[in-house]
Structure 1
């Protein structure tokens, strides 16, 4: 009994310290964002005297974080829709349709997961520039789809492989075409995986800096994370405003993790078990 209690404490204490180390930067950033510049200079670690949202308003309006937020929302929404549509169709085809070269295609998707973006960024930038897609929403959406599609296809293929083949055969016997099987059977059955993978893809696209910085060089089309990065140089002497910008970028991601953490965990383990 005592040994079991000590074991629980041995696991609980490190996890509590890890949780504190994770939460403290966010709390510190929120506290800094509520301070005036004078209060921050006098004591950066002291609690803010009041909940002052002036820095958040300034960051949202004057600094342009509202425009950056809208840019990110447009790009992430379009990218996730395309990723889920193409990824679910490819996952269904690779897991349930028999055609020559399907194994090679799946192995190619696996291999693409191990290719860092830095390896392909120069050729990608040249192709996008020649196509006139630099500094455009479609260009950034296509770059995100190209970067994160192998991950989406892999998870959807793994998930669809757990669905019994008899269901597909029964649907074909009932007169459904391949498209009908995908639309009427596989899409509804794959809804949990689509939700989980969609959340993960949205987080990947939302938190990206490198691809967005490469594809959107103008200030007008910056995404939120690129805008936050630019604040570090423009407002190096106004840390509370910079903290407010960081807080604006972090809150959506934090809300997703708080309310959809189960779906995120399910997405990471999608297709890893049978049944």
Structure 2
């Protein structure tokens, strides 16, 4: 009994410390974001006494954060939809359809996952420029889809491969063509994986700075993360306003994760253990 209690504490204490280490930066940032500039200069570590909500209003209005939010929401939504559609079709084809070059295609997808974007960013940006897609929403969407699609295809292929082929063969015998099997069988069974990949890819696109900074060079077309980075230069001596802008970007992500954390875990677990 005592050994069991010791083992529980051995797990609980590190997890509690990890949780504190994760939550503390956000609480610290919130505390500073609610301070006035004078209060921050005089006492950086102390608890706020002024509760300057105006910092959040200034970060939203003066830094054009509303426009950046709309830019990120548009690009993220379109990119995630395209990624899920393409990845689900590719995953079904690679896992349940037999065609020449399927194994080679899957290996190429695996290889694409191993190439960091920093290695290809110069020719990638040059290609977008030659196509006239630099500094456009279409160009950024293409960049996100090409960057995050390989992993999603790999995940969906692994997930669909665990669905018995007898199910799809029975559907074909019942008169369904390839698209019928895909729409009536594979998509409903793949819903947990699609939900998980949709949320994760949305977080990837929303949090990106490097790709958006390279592709979207016009200030009016910045994404929200690039806008927050520029906010530091706009308010170099007003750290509370800068951290207020950071929290405006981070808090929606935290809320989304808290709402869908079970779905993310269930989808990833199902993809790893199904069958």
Aligned partner of 1:194 in structure 2 is 194
Counterparts of 1:43 and 1:133, CA distance in 2: 48
- Once superposed, what is the RMSD of the aligned Cα atoms? 1.2
Counterparts of 2:211 and 2:263, CA distance in 1: 26
Aligned partner of 1:228 in structure 2 is 228
Q: How does 1:158-237 map to 2 (within 5 A)?
A: 158-237=158-237
Counterparts of 2:240 and 2:134, CA distance in 1: 33
- Residue 62 (str. 1) matches residue 57 (str. 2): no
Counterparts of 2:196 and 2:131, CA distance in 1: 33
User: Do the aligned residues in 1 keep the contact of 2:195 with 2:263 (CA within 8 Å)?
Assistant: yes
State the shift of 1:265 in Å.
2.3
Give the alignment's TM-score, normalised by structure 1.
0.97
Aligned partner of 1:49 in structure 2 is 49
User: Do the aligned residues in 2 keep the contact of 1:161 with 1:271 (CA within 8 Å)?
Assistant: no
Q: How does 1:33-182 map to 2 (within 5 A)?
A: 33-182=33-182
Give the alignment's TM-score, normalised by structure 2.
0.97
Q: Deviation above 6 Å: which 4+ runs of structure 1?
A: none
Counterparts of 2:131 and 2:171, CA distance in 1: 42
Counterparts of 1:85 and 1:52, CA distance in 2: 45
Counterparts of 1:7 and 1:171, CA distance in 2: 50
User: Secondary structure of 1:132's partner?
Assistant: coil
Q: Note closer, same or farther for the CA distance 1:107–1:267 as it changes in structure 2 (3 Å cut).
A: farther
Aligned partner of 2:20 in structure 1 is 20
1:31-86 per-position Cα deviation (integer Å, ceiling 9, x unaligned):
11111111111111222225432111111111111111111101000000000000
User: Do the aligned residues in 2 keep the contact of 1:196 with 1:267 (CA within 8 Å)?
Assistant: yes
Range with greater deviation from structure 2 (87-96 or 2-11): 2-11
User: Do the aligned residues in 1 keep the contact of 2:144 with 2:205 (CA within 8 Å)?
Assistant: yes
User: Do the aligned residues in 2 keep the contact of 1:90 with 1:157 (CA within 8 Å)?
Assistant: yes
